[in-house]
């Protein structure tokens, strides 16, 4: 689907005038309106590395359960590994993401975009290894075979629109599933994720940004 990218010429003033509540300050790498929940599982991106990929994930903890505190506890190294039999399988894991979008559409930010979040693990995108180095991670609370919530698509579209506006290296053409970059090892966000819906929404979001900066 063709996405008009000329909106990149928009100034920050124009960006601030859009109705997107998830506007991003490119310098701080923080999303306005996202709840901040800093993760210790972050570090510097390799020197000189620009991030030009978004990786979409799905996660629920324990698997199939939504709405609890466990995902945020996992990303902040506060999960009680003995709290559920499944947690024993991931005991000691130190992971994070830049953004988590909960079922109700709430966006939670764990890592500023300029820093490296630990979400992709062993991975490869178009021949380039170690995708954490050059990607933004977005986790959707969900599971592979259950439809994601309408409110999640709304938030995801707005956050992606804000990301693409804030960082010129990102584009609608460089959004990958975790399953794309870690095939055989990861399956998320799964067949339930509606890519056409995402691209339709993103196309609309970006064309609005360009044509109607009121």
Q: What angle do CA 75, 137, 156 make, to 5 degrees?
A: 105
Question: In angstroms, what is the minimal distance from the CB of 110 to Zn ion?
Answer: 14
Instruction: For the CB of residue 168, give the shortest distance to Zn ion in the complex, in Å.
Output: 26
Our CB check for Zn ion shows the closer of 57 and 116 to be 57
Q: Nearest distance from residue 114's CB to Zn ion, in Å?
A: 21
Are 181 and 125 in contact by the 8 Å Cβ rule? The answer is yes
Please return the burial class of 114, using the count of CB atoms within 10 Å of its CB with bins 0-12, 13-18 and 19+: middle
Tokens of residue 11, six digits: 């100034």
213 touches 10 (CB < 8 A): yes
The residue (of 167 and 193) whose beta carbon lies closer to Zn ion is 193
Using CB under 5 A as the binding rule, whether residue 205 contacts Zn ion is answered as no
- Closest to Zn ion by CB, 140 or 164: 140
Nearer to Zn ion, 73 or 208 (CB): 73
* 3-class DSSP assignment, residue 53: strand
Which residue among the candidates 32, 94, 106, 139 is catalytic per the annotation? 139
Supply φ then ψ for residue 129, to 5 degrees: -85, 170
Residues 27-86 within binding reach of Zn ion (CB under 5 A): 57
Q: How far is the CB of 178 from Zn ion (least distance, A)?
A: 3
The beta strand positions in 48-117, using DSSP E, are 53-59, 99-101, 107-109, 115-117
Q: Who's near 155: CB < 8 A, 6+ residues apart?
A: 22, 101, 105, 106, 107
x/- track of binding to Zn ion for residues 157-196 (CB under 5 A):
---------------------x---------x--------
- Minimum distance of Zn ion from residue 105's CB (angstroms): 20
If the CB atoms of residues 18 and 155 are measured against Zn ion, the closer one turns out to be 155
Size of the site for Zn ion (CB under 5 A): 3
Nearest-CA neighbor of 65 among 21, 99, 108, 103?
A: 103
Residue 139 falls in the annotated catalytic set? yes
Query: Which residues are near Zn ion by CB under 5 A?
Result: 57, 178, 188
The catalytic residues are: 139
């Amino acid at each position: 689907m063709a996405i008009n990218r000329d909106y990149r010429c928009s100034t920050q003033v124009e960006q601030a005038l859009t109705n997107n509540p998830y506007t991003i300050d490119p310098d701080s790498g923080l999303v306005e309106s996202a709840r901040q929940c800093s993760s210790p599982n972050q570090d510097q991106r390799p020197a000189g590395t620009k991030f030009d990929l978004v990786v979409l994930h799905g996660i629920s903890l324990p698997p199939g359960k939504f709405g609890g505190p466990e995902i945020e506890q996992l990303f902040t190294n506060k999960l009680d590994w003995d709290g559920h039999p499944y947690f024993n399988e991931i005991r000691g894991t130190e992971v994070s993401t830049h953004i988590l979008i909960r079922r109700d559409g709430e966006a939670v930010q764990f890592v500023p975009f300029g820093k490296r979040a630990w979400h992709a693990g062993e991975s490869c995108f178009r021949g380039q290894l170690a995708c954490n180095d050059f990607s933004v991670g977005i986790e959707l609370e969900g599971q592979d075979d259950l439809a994601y919530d309408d409110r999640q698509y709304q938030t995801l579209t707005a956050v992606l629109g804000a990301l693409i506006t804030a960082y010129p290296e990102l584009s609608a053409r460089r959004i990958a599933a975790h399953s794309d970059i870690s095939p055989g090892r990861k399956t998320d966000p799964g067949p339930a994720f509606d890519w056409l819906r995402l691209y339709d929404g993103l196309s609309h979001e970006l064309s609005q940004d360009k044509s109607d900066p009121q």
